[in-house]
Structure 1
Amino acid sequence: MEQSGGPRGPEGNEEARAAAHCYRHPDREANITCTRCERPICPECMISASVGFQCPECVKGGSGTGHAADANQPRTLAGGSLAADPRLVTKVLLGLNVAVFVAVMIQGDRLLDELLLFGQAATEPYGPVEGVAEGQWYRLLTSMFLHQEIWHILMNMLGLWFLGPPLEAALGRARFTGLYLLSGLAGSALTYLVAAPQQASLGASGAIFGLFGATAVLMRRMRYDMRPILVLLAINLLFTFTWSNISWEAHVGGLVAGAALAYALVHAPREKRTLVQYGAFGAMLLVVVVLCVVRTAQLTG
């Protein structure tokens, strides 16, 4: 087993490369090596340097080959700030979903009707017409944190806890948060565009499928074995199109948005990384707005 304090000489490097596991996290695969000590490192340990990536020990010791700014401001694979707790945003999102679930259990249908995603419908017989088409665009976001059945929130939160931390570590908190929210919004927008106006939709599935797409892109970027994530994604897509009462629009919209954003985040050229990444987020938000404007015009025109 590799030790974090293992040899850095040629023999130690050969052992590390052969093991293909992070020297700081032996249970994680690593196909990237530190440009200084050449030991394999996982996404959480990758710190952006002027050329390639360095491990935290080399950066901390000031022995890295990057510029001083790289050493003073460690960066993730996507250029985000390296956080002490790479699971913080994942925990917050999980807590928000659980809190809204508990609130719905307490408040009942009244709160449910206020947060659900639907295009245009009457919440009560002969009641006022409500929905996104009536200006309630907030439903695109609130429905992402809304669950009614215990099995529904358990499945989605299991997916969030499984996929979230590695992505958060590789992308950084801000980029991970943006990817999660925009994936969910893209799923909501496609649902609004395609589904019947009175069809209600809820759940974090769109955002979770966005994490699936982003994980596949990240694993390909890291040259990991993609078979596990592809099999898991295929199973979830099979359920999407075979089970009843599942919004396939949210799943597909989130998946495509997550994969597209992740590609821009991890493949952006270093010299134009910020511009490309901000541009990708802006373009995705614009797509969401355009889809909603088009559908609103259809329903109200």
Structure 2
Amino acid sequence: MCPECMRDAAVGHQCHECVREGNKTVRQPRTIFGGRVSATPVVTFTLIAANVLAYLAEIADPAVVDRFQMVGQALLARNGNMYVSDGTPVPGMELVGVANGEPYRLLTSAFLHAPPGSGFGVGHILFNMWALWMIGPQLEQVLGRARFTALYLLSALGGSVLLYLIDPSQPAVGASGAIFGLFGAFFVIGRKLGAPTGGITFLLVINLVITFAVPGISWQGHLGGLVVGALLATAYAYAPARQRSMVHGAAIGSALVVLVALVAAQTVQLTALG
């Protein structure tokens, strides 16, 4: 074996292949909730970048919002205006929405925000990205990348699903459902760890007041995300240590199955009415 293939060890030398094989048997460090330790919040940064890029795309082409925002069932006119639909085709208009073969809207809408010049303007994305920047890295560090990603996406999906169930003709955009899910998770995880939760409680209460007090805000999206995020975080936090990975996987899978089933049931009902 050539000297170039060797590396210094505590006693003598070892080949690179031996070191790699040995590393496989070394237990990787885990977070308190079983995730892999990650010093850099890669998922948080990636989510922020995805939201910003989507916002730039909708500024460049406003039609992006029409094609990817959350709406359960609507009529889209050639001029981009949307109208309430009962599922009946109308000449010159296109039937769009989750019920009309566009389930991707349930998630793509969570990466779009109110365009400049609208009621909320750039403040919409600025607040959501600020919130993600503030609490995302802490949750990602505690939960690990995979669990944090599942929490974020399922919270976003939960917000869209509740809107689909209650008001399918109402369009909506924004990461707020996912952000409220993070709020709920932050509170649950904080209580479990014995950390102060006064700050997140105040922030959550203020945002809930704004949600129900200000017209034009999708309270369904916020509440749906909050419930899913809090429930999933509860499964993360209180799973028995020995069955932690199994319970976490089952919780993620169960949440996804329930949300998909609700979407399927509502789609069947809407298409039957049409």
Identify the match of residue 152 of structure 1 among 124, 128, 142. Answer: 124
Q: Which amino acid aligns with 2:223?
A: V
Residue matched to 1:131: 97
1:295 paired to 2:266 = yes
SS at match of 1:122: strand
Q: Structure 2: how far apart are the matches of 1:71 and 1:281?
A: 28
Deviation at 1:107, TM superposition (A): 0.8
Pairing 1:197-236 to 2, within 5 Å after superposition? 197-236=168-207
Q: Deviations over 1:216-275 (max 9, x none)?
A: 011001111221111111001000100011000011110010011111112111111111
Residue matched to 1:176: 148
Deviation at 1:191, TM superposition (A): 0.6
SS at match of 1:72: coil
Deviation at 1:70, TM superposition (A): 10
Q: Residue 89 of structure 1 contacts residue 173 of structure 1 at CA under 8 Å; is this kept in 2?
A: yes
Residue matched to 2:165: 193
Q: Which amino acid aligns with 1:134?
A: N
Residue matched to 2:67: 114
| Equivalenced residues, count | 231
What is the TM-score of this pair, normalised by structure 1?
Answer: 0.74
Pairing 1:277-288 to 2, within 5 Å after superposition? 277-288=248-259
Q: Structure 2: how far apart are the matches of 1:231 and 1:150?
A: 24
Deviation at 1:198, TM superposition (A): 2.5
Gaps of 5+ in 1: 1-67
Q: Residue 116 of structure 1 contacts residue 143 of structure 1 at CA under 8 Å; is this kept in 2?
A: yes
Q: Which amino acid aligns with 1:133?
A: A
Residue matched to 1:250: 221
Q: Structure 1: how far apart are the matches of 2:266 and 2:249?
A: 26
Runs of 4 or more above 4 Å deviation: 68-71
Q: Residue 77 of structure 1 contacts residue 266 of structure 1 at CA under 8 Å; is this kept in 2?
A: no
SS at match of 1:128: strand
Q: Residue 39 of structure 2 contacts residue 141 of structure 2 at CA under 8 Å; is this kept in 1?
A: no
Q: Structure 1: how far apart are the matches of 2:74 and 2:112?
A: 18
Cα distance change, pair 229–69 in 1 and its aligned pair in 2 (3 A):
farther
Cα distance change, pair 71–225 in 1 and its aligned pair in 2 (3 A):
farther
Deviation at 1:71, TM superposition (A): 6.9
What is the TM-score of this pair, normalised by structure 2?
Answer: 0.81
1:82 paired to 2:12 = no
Identical-residue share of aligned pairs (%)? 48
Q: Structure 2: how far apart are the matches of 1:136 and 1:91?
A: 28
Q: Structure 2: how far apart are the matches of 1:142 and 1:225?
A: 34
Tell me how large the CA RMSD over aligned residues is.
1.6
Q: Deviations over 1:5-62 (max 9, x none)?
A: xxxxxxxxxxxxxxxxxxxxxxxxxxxxxxxxxxxxxxxxxxxxxxxxxxxxxxxxxx
Q: Residue 144 of structure 1 contacts residue 204 of structure 1 at CA under 8 Å; is this kept in 2?
A: yes
Residue matched to 1:166: 138
Q: Structure 2: how far apart are the matches of 1:70 and 1:121?
A: 56
Deviation at 1:72, TM superposition (A): 3.1
SS at match of 1:211: helix
